[in-house]
């Protein structure tokens, strides 16, 4: 996904002279195409992510659409105060990009496990929260984020995620996409768990529908209303803490629809997510997913 992101950002920067990229001393072998083509719109802020965020806010105040880019926790958890006050309080056009969401950097231990970011980011006013599931969704989400001046968070996988969608798609902010149609259960996923969910359904011949939610905030309530009318059982799956994450957002969405009278009943929701623990074991992303039983 990160390769798809940079490649697409380069293409958009060719026609949009206001796109600016600030990185936190990483992205080597990935961000060079952008840096080489647009040296006056690229800055390596060093291992100083809070400063990186403040710089991005200043550039946005001067009219740029700014992307900050770093590994998982570092442009998010380390910079929460700067994101809240410098970017979101002023509603600035800054897109915060984290690469390696979940356990993509699992071998580096808990300092590189991004399993609280969605929960923290979606509570901040004005901030769009997105987590595309494959390279196609990544390009579509990037285009949608470029169509708005709102601050946004873009959570990416590390690299090598397979293409799920056969064709390019359009994903307006806050919309989801149906990947499979089935009768028994609706599986709702966000981010890089899309491929795992698709493989699980196909391998076991489950008669399940599969929906990808690249936007956690705003949430596709229209889709949730449709799902509620067609399914009595829903599974949510995410590579994130159970508290405050994608599954929590889905539960809140269903409840709000019920309270508003849009739906008449609540489906049974089974949430699959990381339990309330730190993972002290270092290992590959796939190993940690198995250890934590992130499957259905």
Task: Indicate which CATH number applies to the domain containing 143.
Answer: 3.40.50.970
Does a structural domain hold residue 171? no
296 found inside a domain: no
Whole-number pLDDT of residue 133: 97
Q: What is the mean pLDDT of residues 10-32?
A: 93
Residue-wise pLDDT for 251-272, tens only, equals: 999 999 999 999 999 999 999 9
Q: Which residues contact 63 (CB under 8 A, 6 or more apart)?
A: 18
C-alpha pair distances (Å), 238 with each of 107, 227, 245, 247: 19, 18, 8, 8
65 and 15 share one domain: yes
What would the two tokens of residue 225 be?
A: 């209303």
- Structural domain contains residue 185: yes
pLDDT in tens, 186-209: 999 999 999 999 999 999 999 999
Report residue 26's pLDDT band, with 50, 70 and 90 as the boundaries: confident
CATH number at 256 reads: 3.40.50.920
219/132 same-domain check: no
Of residues 146, 226, 218, 231, the one with CA closest to residue 185: 231
- Domain presence at residue 277: yes
pLDDT tens by residue, 99-125: 999 999 999 999 999 999 999 999 999
* CA–CA gap between residue 258 and residue 280 (Å, rounded): 40
**Cα distance between residue 234 and residue 148, in whole Å:** 31
In this prediction, residues 73-97 reach a mean pLDDT of: 97
Cβ contact 269:293 at 8 Å? no
User: Which residues are within 8 A (CB) of 208 and not within 5 positions of it... i.e. 6 or more apart?
Assistant: 180, 182, 184, 185, 186, 187, 201, 235
pLDDT tens digits along 126-163: 999 999 999 999 999 999 999 999 999 999 998 788 99
Strands 128-130 and 94-99: unpaired
Residues 9 and 128 in one domain: yes
pLDDT at residue 84 greater than cutoff 80 = yes
Other beta carbons within 10 Å of 37: 12
6, 139: one domain: yes
For residue 208, give the H/E element and its range: strand 208-212
Phi-psi region of 52 (alpha: psi -120 to 50; beta: other; left: phi over 0): alpha
pLDDT at 51: 97
Does some domain include residue 167?
no
- Residue ending a domain, among 121, 156, 191, is 156
14 lies in the same domain as 94: yes
Backbone angles phi, psi at 62, to 5 degrees: -95, 5
The answer on 100 and 237 residing in a single domain is no
Residues 211 and 277 in one domain: yes
Mean predicted confidence (pLDDT) in 223-237: 98
The number of folded domains in the chain is 2
38-62 pLDDT tens trace: 999 999 999 999 999 999 999 999 9
Q: Is the same domain home to 13 and 149?
A: yes
Could you tell me the residue range of the domain that residue 55 belongs to? 2-156
Strands 233-241 and 185-189: parallel
- The answer to whether residue 170 is domain-embedded is no
Contact 28, 6 (CB under 8 A): no
Instruction: Assess whether 9 and 115 both reside in one domain.
Output: yes
* Model pTM score: 0.96
- Mark whether 6 and 145 lie in a shared domain: yes
- Predicted confidence at residue 27, as pLDDT, reads 74
In the predicted model, is pLDDT for residue 97 greater than 90? yes
Return left, alpha or beta for 46; rule: phi > 0 is left, psi -120 to 50 is alpha, else beta.
left
Examine residue 161 and state whether it is found in any structural domain, yes or no. Answer: no
User: Residue 94: enclosing H or E segment and its boundaries?
Assistant: strand 94-99
Same domain, 149 and 202: no
pLDDT bracket for residue 85 (50, 70, 90): very high
Give residue 29's pLDDT. 82
Q: Residue 51: inside a domain, yes or no? A: yes
Could you tell me which of 132, 107, 135 has the C-alpha nearest to residue 216?
132
Burial class (CB in 10 A: 0-12, 13-18, 19+), 124: middle
Q: How confident is the model at residue 72 (pLDDT cuts 50, 70, 90)?
A: confident
Same domain, 56 and 186: no
Mean pLDDT of the chain: 96
In sequence order, what are the residues at sequence separation of 6 or more whose Cβ sits closer than 8 angstroms to the Cβ of residue 26? 69, 70, 71
């Amino acid at each position: 996904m990160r390769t798809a992101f940079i490649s697409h950002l380069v293409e958009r920067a060719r026609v949009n002279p206001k796109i600016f990229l600030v990185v936190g001393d990483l992205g080597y072998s990935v961000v060079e195409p952008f840096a080489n083509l647009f040296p006056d719109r690229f800055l390596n802020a060093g291992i100083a992510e809070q400063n990186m965020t403040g710089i991005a806010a200043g550039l946005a105040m001067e009219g740029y659409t700014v992307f900050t880019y770093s590994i998982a926790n570092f442009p998010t958890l380390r910079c929460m105060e700067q994101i809240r006050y410098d970017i979101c309080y002023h509603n600035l056009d800054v897109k915060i990009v984290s690469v390696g969401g979940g356990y993509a950097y699992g071998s580096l231990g808990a300092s590189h496990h991004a399993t609280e970011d969605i929960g923290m980011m979606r509570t901040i006013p004005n901030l769009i929260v997105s987590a595309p599931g494959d390279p196609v969704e990544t390009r579509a989400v990037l285009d949608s984020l470029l169509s708005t001046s709102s601050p946004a968070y873009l959570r990416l996988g590390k690299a090598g995620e397979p293409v799920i969608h056969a064709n390019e798609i359009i994903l307006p902010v806050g919309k989801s996409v149906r990947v499979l149609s089935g009768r028994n259960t609706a599986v709702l996923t966000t981010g890089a768990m899309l491929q795992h969910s698709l493989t699980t359904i196909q391998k076991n011949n489950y008669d399940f529908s599969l929906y990808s939610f690249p936007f956690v905030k705003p949430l596709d309530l229209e889709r949730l209303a449709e799902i509620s009318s067609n399914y009595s059982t829903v599974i949510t799956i995410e590579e994130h803490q159970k508290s405050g994450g994608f599954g929590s957002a889905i539960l809140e969405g269903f409840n709000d629809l019920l309270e508003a009278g849009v739906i008449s009943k609540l489906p049974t929701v089974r949430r699959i997510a990381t339990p309330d623990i730190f993972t002290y074991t270092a290992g590959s992303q796939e190993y940690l997913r198995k250890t934590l039983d992130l499957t259905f």
